[in-house]
Amino acid sequence: QVQLVETGGGSVQSGGALTLSCVLSGYIGDTFCMAWFRQVSGQEREGVADIAWDGMTYVADSVKGRFTVSQKSGKKTLLLQMRDLKSEDTGTYYCAAARLQICSSGGHYIREYFPYWGQGTQVTVSS
């Protein structure tokens, strides 16, 4: 049973920083990728950043230069370091995993390809 557990959300002021962590447990297979999505109330869940099986990373233009995605612990811990946070970064952040070598193509994510999701962690940025 694959499980994803996110931690690290919270409330910060604009310009602040947070680091989100996602730990994958269980056996997902030999090849997988992991990604961060976020969702603002009433809007579609959007992909923010991901790491492919070979370690290549992708970060959405909206957060490029402010967010950094990385892995540790044998690829089973996914981190999202967020700095210079803005009010528009407010939302619920979800970690997801897929048995794929790459999570996205040019930032295009197909949510149906991600069978594993965390419960989400709330990030609130106040101005």
Q: In degrees rounded to 5, what are phi and psi of residue 49?
A: -165, 155
Residue 31 has a pLDDT of: 93
With CA atoms as reference, report the closest residue to 32 among 7, 54, 47.
Answer: 54
Mean pLDDT computed over 101-112: 89
With a pLDDT cut of 90, the percent of the chain lying above it is 87
- pLDDT of 106 strictly over 90: no
CA–CA distance, 23 with 95 (Å, rounded to integer):
9
Do residues 79 and 23 lie in contact, with contact meaning Cβ atoms separated by under 8 Å? no
pLDDT digits (tens, 9 = 90+) for 25-81: 999 998 999 999 999 988 999 999 999 999 999 999 999 999 999 998 778 999 999
What's the half-sphere exposure (Cβ side, CA atoms, 13 Å) at 69? 23
